[in-house]
Structure 1
């Protein structure tokens, strides 16, 4: 089943959920569209196992983000604060660039790992699976899964450390 086939039918339900949170039709449609755009981006990077759940969680997070943004605007109006006097909750441009660079280092580090080691780490860190569940899925012992996860994390830390030394030097 393709991604498009798996998300057909979610739009109307998601739109109802967003509208139930007090958004008008246009704003709700914008939020749902943003959720679909984020799903498309995520699906390009990794396998999205449950697109419907991904869309729902993303829409809820977007609703929260809008709530925070409107709260900051309301605070500014209430306090007559100038826009530049209100702290932005978003990371600084420098922090965002550093994070993107770290992400690129980690992606390369993951690509360097043997397949079972990479799978063990991804299942543990991103899918929140227990060592026992990973062992069963990969056909390994629990101690081997623990070893794979530990070595994978060590490898990622090493690559991040090396990248930091290159940037500093």
Structure 2
């Protein structure tokens, strides 16, 4: 039988600090480590809605390791592409196509509507993190909230967006 959201939240809170240390040992950027951890928690929570996990702690560690490896691979690919494109600057067309521009504007308008519909605290945390690009430390200083509370509000905000935003 799949686990309920409250049980998943308890598991996440219980293992948060140790998982963050685990990720930070592999990623030298604390903010990126927090982002990876947050992504793991979102995936874990969604996974638990449909599946049963025998050893949640081990599963979380495996998920964190996989997410960290994926991040490192993405960074390496991005670095490789950047070097490749820098060698051939005439190949780069910085202007998006008209279709891409229209699609991006439509998605932005939809996202603005979704953000406006969020509960106030979720919207505040979401805007600070994803629009103003504040770190978790800065958000904590501005709001007076603990990291766990910021995580909770951010998870709720992202879940709110995921449910309303078409793929």
TM-score range, shorter chain: 0.3 to 0.5
User: Whose Rg is larger?
Assistant: 1
TM-score between the two structures when normalised by the length of structure 2: 0.45
Asked which structure has the greater RCO (Cα within 8 Å, sep 6+), the reply is 2
